[in-house]
A and B are shown apart, each in its own frame.
Chain A
Amino acid sequence: QKEVEQNSGPLSVPEGAIASLNCTYSDRGSQSFFWYRQYSGKSPELIMFIYSNGDKEDGRFTAQLNKASQYVSLLIRDSQPSDSATYLCAVNRVTGGGNKLTFGTGTQLKVEL
């Protein structure tokens, strides 16, 4: 079982719709969860992070965390063509070497006009 799993997609949504991106993780000791956006050929940029169960909203983005189900999601409201990118879920774990992020393989999102 992969440590962090995401559906690779592509996930296609029409402009203005809600895009829902999902991620599951295997380590119950994971403490914090991050969503990054990566455009083709570019490095990841942080969208938001969440530590506690429930929802966290930031503008058009809402992160949802359910530790009991080991599930984290990202909702993008009013999707725009500029949101088309690969979304990476990352999970933070504390190891002997310090804090490390483990990334999923990413979900490709396509927002169509």
Chain B
Amino acid sequence: GAVVSQHPSWVICKSGTSVKIECRSLDFQATTMFWYRQFPKQSLMLMATSNEGSKATYEQGVEKDKFLINHASLTLSTLTVTSAHPEDSSFYICSASGRWFNEQFFGPGTRLTVL
């Protein structure tokens, strides 16, 4: 399968600071990237969908100004959690799909802890 990387794998930050998470497709061009959040013992919740060169489409209830998504190239998308608070602590996972396939391949995830 296709390979997707995420960086960092974990991050601890103070309340009020911003955190940027990178998602890269390593061996294919990701025309669409997705950002998910998963709280303990819960399922994946889609936060937003981004197509290369376009503004992200956010799911209902997800604050656009708090979770900034940029998909500037076919191999890189970033999620910035602005003014993070403890309730933003979660497992953030990106996935990517390519031009010629529907499957989504997931990155390894980023565990965010906000103190």
Contacts and interface: CB of A to CB of B under 8 A. Distances in A.
Interface residues of B, number: 21
Contact of B46 (A43, A45, A101): A101
Contacts of B108: 42-43
A101 B104 contact: yes
Contacts of B18: none
B51 to A, nearest CB: 7
Contact of B103 (A43, A46, A100, A103): A46
A103 B44 CA distance: 7
B7 to A, nearest CB: 13
Interface residues of A, number: 21
B46 A100 contact: yes
Contacts of A49: 102-103
Contact of A99 (B102, B105, B106): B102
Interface of A is mostly: strand
B85 to A, nearest CB: 23
Contacts of A92: 102
Nearest to B94: A43
Interface string A41-80: 0111110010000000000000000000000000000000
Contacts of A105: 42-43
Contacts of A29: none
B94 to A, nearest CB: 9
Interface of B: 1, 32, 34, 42-44, 46, 49, 51, 57, 91, 93, 97, 102-109
Interface of A: 32, 34, 36, 42-46, 49, 88, 92, 97-106
